[in-house]
Structure 1
């Protein structure tokens, strides 16, 4: 392992909002100042700031010489690897729009995304592009293959120009053109949200969005100049991208993993001696469930930046791993809306108001509710580049989301009298039972407190008496399968009777989104099987 470089000797990290900044502008400036310092490491491959800028510049000029024009959509279908970064930054430096797609996207979903985007160019490995070629209604003009090309005919047929990624860079390296970088207000990314209902929507993000988010994160989470960071979330997701842009902003170093592993996560945090790591609540829960083992350096303090932190284990996790978990609340459409701050991370809330966002908690008629009353969180920005430009190809959805000139998050929160906000659940992820609205999130939290429950997903299923009954799917820990009736009794300690599940089914795994969250839409589609235990002893259909 390479020794981590000292912290805090490169420059003062500014937290000022620069409405003209973009990650590409910041990378170019850093490459001029610290070209030989490492920026990113992925599975042993290391790129310095100078390497990164050269690769981005060559990719951008290569795309232009290959015919990519400003405003063209370019699909990027790559796992976490250096070429995924060069493609992302290079596409935007060329003035085109990058559209990152999960490598796990299946056929029908992939077809929907491709049809929605109508890309002129696609970039990916040969196997992934072959999958894309099998579902695209209209082939692209250009296909760029990362790694070994497929044998035989071009992936998309003889009518589509095909280049290797190295060939693309060589085109750019030989280009006499000057690279004029787009403005911060230019549409840079279309990123599809992992919504729980309906087709995913393409969230349009300006190039300035990422740089603004980096400035926000730096202030709230105490990011330091030269800090070392670790992240395993994919680059097709906003968290993975934030980890890189934040690193460029503070001129630090990023260790980017390729896949989350509960058993290896903390080993890698310690191996790379990181200052900051990124997480979602599921990761924290799964790491916490691993067998305890001594820390390499008990005196080392680290900060975790994430969301959905399990309140019931937060302080135990922090004490066990010598860290501080600081969570914020945001979404792809609106980078950060509420947040805790380093040093102020009480379990059970998602933070307080931020000076650059205005928020309200409203009822179903968009009327503000009083403190202590659950309602939907709505917000609007007080600075540029904090929010999306709209939904791609869905103007009606954009108008609906911004009705009344407030962005509607779809999440239910409670504002406490101390100014902090507690997350309750999704408006579309609540279960209506016996006249009561039950938060699926609350049911899941109660279940995962059991030592034999690794993960849980609560859904509503049709009831024979109207409305819905609650079904709970759980994944067991290494300790063994939970006994359904005992689990239900255990959950009764934290939940009112109407919120207890009628059905409990133990499953091997739950479907996940690219950001490692449970894909509730797929869980609802699956429902419960005849193997489910029924508290009322009635058969459950498949």
Structure 2
């Protein structure tokens, strides 16, 4: 139940099968075990010891993967940092994490030094970077399943980023749970272009090791090049986040849509309206599920059991409740916050950096509002902090976005609250049109009136050239809320663009 144990067992069982393809580098399972042991030796030669914290701030490249496996082999704690961090946000995380070592690409290294990093710095492409082959391989350091292997920082989309202590066993359980959900086998080729600093991509390595599949770590997501890259990789499985599916559907149809082998993909939070068009156009069945940096794949579906718009059913080894603001359970069909618990030892994180360790069996609040249907399936409603309160009604920004995205001229959308002349909020949406489309806000409102209750129909609509996204494709709603109603927004109440007005907070 540790990462080195998982890698060693996979190397014994799958030996000369290809495990990794990253850029121009291809390694078998046996070669990858040796590379991990040699990277650990190179780290030790530079003074890194078990328990030391090693940060990395780089794109998807082989040096990053070497640190993932090498640090785990040595018993050091890896801290993957978002490559978009800068300024105060980067200063905060460096103060919290206190890494002794940092591997970074040149421009990111400059930002880290400016933000106060004073430890040992390795710059990608320079001679002092620890790499396999420069030092003798070392035995793996004995580790316990509960020992921290990764320190992952939350995205900070709803507050200050927090460091999540992820133990070895959590990664192993991620591998087992997702491999089962996606029905992975040793014949599969897994392709991810998600950043390795995100738990989704980071744990793809464990998905592959669990069954002996091949893991292809691709370049950063590009909607225009995506299917060509999937085809080149030979992938049978792809990894997406929900916002990526509408982006791919918004691209002009082309021969590349079906020039690949992929037939299923893990794609949490996929809009229900995108599921069937995605399968019909690209030949890929999207598998939804619920898991967070702090937890695991608690709720999920499988390629053969789908209900678009639902995140799935409870998986073995976990419990879940839907509760009100007082943490009392609510009836099926009623929206409430999802709280979850694991019966698998150390399948969840052991807590946050600077906080007390949690007991493995404790309930975890997720901050997500869901509905449990009478048949046991769960439907995502919203983030608790993204609920819009208007005229005494709670409005799901997720449901507003789903309705707006179903308009044929819309590629993507984000709904958020803005100040009202009255009490509570008004509903605003930032809309990204499909390429070549002209979006009439009046037509969009008429469309929403057919899809939403009257109190949820957006008042303000702003057409934007792009949505502010995190590096993992999540919409940064804090940016939109702070910007509020701009002079470019269309006001349903007046039919004209309004003046800029103060926003809450």
Query: Does TM, normalized by the shorter one, top 0.5?
Result: yes
Alignment match of 2:135 (pick from 163, 172, 184): 172
Q: Which residue of 2 aligns with 1:513?
A: 470
Q: Which residue of 2 aligns with 1:61?
A: 41
Q: Which moved more, 1:468-477 or 1:260-269?
A: 260-269
What are the superposed Cα offsets for residues 234-261 of structure 1, whole Å, 9 maximum, x if unpaired?
1000110122221122112122212111
Shift of 1:297: 6.3
Q: 2-side partners of 1:344 and 1:146: how far apart?
A: 44
What are the superposed Cα offsets for residues 410-443 of structure 1, whole Å, 9 maximum, x if unpaired?
1111111111111111111101111111111111
Q: Which residue of 1 aligns with 2:87?
A: 107
Cα pair 1:230 1:255 within 8 Å, conserved: yes
Alignment match of 1:51 (pick from 3, 7, 31): 31
What are the superposed Cα offsets for residues 465-521 of structure 1, whole Å, 9 maximum, x if unpaired?
111111111112112341222212211111111111111111111111222121222
Shift of 1:188: 0.8
Alignment match of 2:17 (pick from 37, 41, 52): 37
Cα pair 2:429 2:460 within 8 Å, conserved: yes
- Kindly indicate whether residue 499 of structure 2 is the aligned counterpart of residue 539 of structure 1: yes
Shift of 1:392: 0.7
Q: 2-side partners of 1:420 and 1:103: how far apart?
A: 36
How large is the RMSD of aligned CA atoms in angstroms? 2.2
Instruction: Describe the SS at the equivalent of 1:197.
Output: coil
CA change 1:296–1:333 in 2 (3 A) is: closer
- Kindly indicate whether residue 74 of structure 2 is the aligned counterpart of residue 94 of structure 1: yes
Cα pair 1:318 1:324 within 8 Å, conserved: yes
- Kindly indicate whether residue 113 of structure 2 is the aligned counterpart of residue 133 of structure 1: yes
Shift of 1:365: 0.8
CA change 1:330–1:532 in 2 (3 A) is: same
Q: Which residue of 1 aligns with 2:150?
A: 189
Instruction: Describe the SS at the equivalent of 2:479.
Output: helix
CA change 1:296–1:329 in 2 (3 A) is: closer
Shift of 1:86: 0.6
- The structure 1 segments of at least 4 consecutive aligned residues displaced by more than 6 Å after TM superposition are 295-299
Q: Which residue of 1 aligns with 2:183?
A: 222
Q: 2-side partners of 1:206 and 1:258: how far apart?
A: 27
Task: Give runs of aligned pairs for residues 316-331 of structure 1, distance below 5 A.
Answer: 316-331=277-292
Shift of 1:287: 1.0
Q: 1-side partners of 2:22 and 2:202: how far apart?
A: 14
Instruction: Describe the SS at the equivalent of 2:385.
Output: coil
Instruction: Describe the SS at the equivalent of 1:130.
Output: helix
What are the superposed Cα offsets for residues 43-96 of structure 1, whole Å, 9 maximum, x if unpaired?
333233233222211221222232222222211111100110111111122111
Cα pair 2:50 2:141 within 8 Å, conserved: no
What are the superposed Cα offsets for residues 161-207 of structure 1, whole Å, 9 maximum, x if unpaired?
xx3334xx56632x7x5433422221111101114222011111001
Alignment match of 1:489 (pick from 446, 449, 456): 446
Q: 2-side partners of 1:235 and 1:205: how far apart?
A: 15
**Could you list the runs of 5+ residues in structure 1 that have no partner in the other structure?**
1-20, 150-162
Q: 1-side partners of 2:400 and 2:14: how far apart?
A: 50
Q: Which residue of 2 aligns with 1:363?
A: 324
Cα pair 1:530 1:541 within 8 Å, conserved: no
Q: Which residue of 1 aligns with 2:274?
A: 313
Q: Which residue of 2 aligns with 1:152?
A: none
Q: 1-side partners of 2:17 and 2:304: how far apart?
A: 30
- Kindly indicate whether residue 254 of structure 2 is the aligned counterpart of residue 293 of structure 1: yes
CA change 1:214–1:527 in 2 (3 A) is: same
Q: 1-side partners of 2:26 and 2:42: how far apart?
A: 23
Q: 1-side partners of 2:262 and 2:55: how far apart?
A: 39
Q: 2-side partners of 1:297 and 1:196: how far apart?
A: 35
Shift of 1:299: 11
- Taking structure 2 as the reference length, the TM-score comes to 0.93
Cα pair 2:257 2:282 within 8 Å, conserved: no
- Taking structure 1 as the reference length, the TM-score comes to 0.87
Instruction: Describe the SS at the equivalent of 1:104.
Output: coil
- Kindly indicate whether residue 348 of structure 2 is the aligned counterpart of residue 387 of structure 1: yes
- Kindly indicate whether residue 365 of structure 2 is the aligned counterpart of residue 408 of structure 1: yes
What are the superposed Cα offsets for residues 350-390 of structure 1, whole Å, 9 maximum, x if unpaired?
11121210111111111111111111111111111221100
What are the superposed Cα offsets for residues 110-164 of structure 1, whole Å, 9 maximum, x if unpaired?
111101111111112232212100111x511x22222137xxxxxxxxxxxxx33
Q: 2-side partners of 1:298 and 1:89: how far apart?
A: 33
Instruction: Count matched residues.
Output: 499
Instruction: Describe the SS at the equivalent of 1:455.
Output: strand
CA change 1:46–1:299 in 2 (3 A) is: closer
CA change 1:438–1:26 in 2 (3 A) is: same
Q: 2-side partners of 1:188 and 1:215: how far apart?
A: 17
CA change 1:475–1:304 in 2 (3 A) is: same
Q: 2-side partners of 1:179 and 1:535: how far apart?
A: 63
- Kindly indicate whether residue 125 of structure 2 is the aligned counterpart of residue 147 of structure 1: yes
**Could you list the runs of 5+ residues in structure 2 that have no partner in the other structure?**
none
Q: Which moved more, 1:228-237 or 1:39-48?
A: 39-48
Q: Which residue of 1 aligns with 2:407?
A: 450
Shift of 1:301: 6.3
Q: Which moved more, 1:334-343 or 1:75-84?
A: 334-343
Cα pair 1:65 1:171 within 8 Å, conserved: no
Alignment match of 1:199 (pick from 160, 169, 173): 160
Q: 2-side partners of 1:421 and 1:428: how far apart?
A: 19
Q: 2-side partners of 1:278 and 1:30: how far apart?
A: 22
Q: 2-side partners of 1:510 and 1:77: how far apart?
A: 24
Instruction: Describe the SS at the equivalent of 1:313.
Output: helix
Cα pair 1:225 1:252 within 8 Å, conserved: yes
Task: Give runs of aligned pairs for residues 66-85 of structure 1, distance below 5 A.
Answer: 66-85=46-65
Q: Which residue of 1 aligns with 2:305?
A: 344
What are the superposed Cα offsets for residues 306-364 of structure 1, whole Å, 9 maximum, x if unpaired?
21122112112112222221111111111112111231012121111212101111111
Q: 2-side partners of 1:445 and 1:328: how far apart?
A: 17
